[in-house]
Amino acid sequence: MTAVIQNEKNQNYRSSSESVAIGSDSVEAQKHRVRRLLKETNSVLVAHYYTDPVVQELAEDTHGFIGDSLEMARFGARHSASRLIVAGVRFMGESAKILSPDKHIVMPTLDAECSLDLGCPVNDFSAFCDQHPDRVVVVYANTSAVVKARADWVVTSSCALDIIDYLDAQGKKIIWGPDKYLGSYIEKQTGADMLLWQGSCIVHEEFKAKGILDLKAVYPNAAVLVHPESPESVIEVADVVGSTSQLLKATQSLPNQQFIVATDRGIFYKMQQASPEKIFMEAPTAGNGASCKSCAHCPWMAMNTLDALEECLMNPGEKHVIEVSEDIRERALKPLDKMLTFTAENRK
């Protein structure tokens, strides 16, 4: 078995992302231009944990933000910049627009999709919901604005358990979408009555329990960190199950010096930054004789290159600008506001 190990200063991981410069142009020269363009256009860069390190570095260097999708949108709403550059996938740009209707929301590419979003077409999902009018509709943040507009609640992986537990205590029956693995995990943890949409994340679905156990046998002192979008068999071998930000916190709070990480390897940048003395290993994504498709990195997140980032700053036209109709935005804002109010009132 081959384990990809992230060592000091992220040198292995950085090398793959730093090959994106235009022609023979140096990465540093291109980063300098991006910094200048951000300042000249009154823009702020918000980047997801799963984007390449060079993009995350730029967000930090320019006083932008790195985080989960909703954290990105909330930061953008609070920031004084008139334009938000959202490095992530399309639904993240839409979430930013829902919370910041008066700002210009620009993305390096609008072709950066999400398998969870694509696997939950609004017409099909609405028909599914209409068949069960007695149920509360709860959708994961990894959905389009139009699907959010159909929901009663929007949740993130960090607050989903608490909100489902709250609804279950009220005697509510639930429709959950789109991630079947996260839904199954929540259902098992809370005992709630849930009907699950059958979507999945192409990255997390590929992690293999056997591969993790084999790697654990080689590194017995390593803690296994698993995102709940992973299959149940993978969750069962975890030492910690949590959202991306929760897994990041676990690497800092646990005494272990080695970690096997079952989520997108983009998070290794922040993990290594916070704990440079620790070792992080990618959880295996392919079984015996099989090959992986995503190989622990979202192909759509990988579309957020330096080239694309510079292009969207220079030419923020239709192929980069996120638009959400006011009707959809207002309807999608209601379930988002419910979540924000709930989490604010129930901070632990």
Q: pLDDT tens digits for 25-69?
A: 699 999 999 999 999 999 999 999 999 999 999 999 999 999 999
Question: What is residue 283's DSSP assignment?
Answer: P
Of 204, 157, 202, 151, residue with least CA distance to 176: 151
Residue 19 has pLDDT above 90, yes or no: no
pTM of the complete model:
0.91
Q: pLDDT per residue over 101-143, tens digit each?
A: 999 999 999 999 999 999 999 999 999 999 999 999 999 999 9
Question: What is residue 263's DSSP assignment?
Answer: S
Out of 6-15, 88-97, 169-178, which region has the weakest mean confidence (pLDDT)? 6-15
Asked if 259 and 279 count as a contact pair (C-beta separation under 8 A), the reply is yes
Which residue has tokens 């916070």? 274
Reported for 217-223, long-range contacts at CB under 8 A and 24+ positions apart, including other chains, are 218/1, 218/3, 219/3, 219/258, 219/260, 219/281, 221/256, 221/257, 221/258, 222/256, 222/258, 222/259, 222/260, 222/281, 223/250, 223/254, 223/256, 223/258, 223/259, 223/260
| Residue 282 to residue 206: CA distance in whole angstroms | 12
Asked if 142 and 205 count as a contact pair (C-beta separation under 8 A), the reply is no
Confidence band, pLDDT 50/70/90 cuts, at residue 294: confident
Q: Which domains does the chain have, with CATH numbers?
A: 14-113+301-317 (3.40.50.10800), 116-200+327-345 (3.40.50.10800), 204-282 (3.40.50.10800)
Tokens describing residue 220: 């017995």
| Residue 120 to residue 96: CA distance in whole angstroms | 20
The pLDDT assigned to 12 comes to 42
The pLDDT assigned to 2 comes to 43
The pLDDT assigned to 347 comes to 75
Residue 295 has pLDDT above 50, yes or no: yes
- Provide the sign of the torsion angle of the four alpha carbons 320, 322, 323, 328, taken in this order: positive
Residue 9 has pLDDT above 50, yes or no: no
The pLDDT assigned to 23 comes to 45
Strand order of the β-sheet with 223-226 is 5-6, 279-282, 258-262, 223-226, 240-241
Residue 91 has pLDDT above 60, yes or no: yes
The pLDDT assigned to 293 comes to 78
Question: What is residue 280's DSSP assignment?
Answer: E
The pLDDT assigned to 287 comes to 55
| Residue 116 to residue 142: CA distance in whole angstroms | 6
Q: What single-letter amino acid sits at 67? A: G
Give the list of residues 6+ apart from residue 319 with CB closer than 8 angstroms, or none: 109, 110
What is the average pLDDT across 310-322? 95
The pLDDT assigned to 289 comes to 53
Q: What is the dihedral of CA 326, 328, 329, 334, to 10 degrees?
A: 130
Average pLDDT in the chain: 92
Measured N-to-C along each axis, helices 306-314 and 53-61 cross at an angle, to the nearest 10 degrees, of: 50
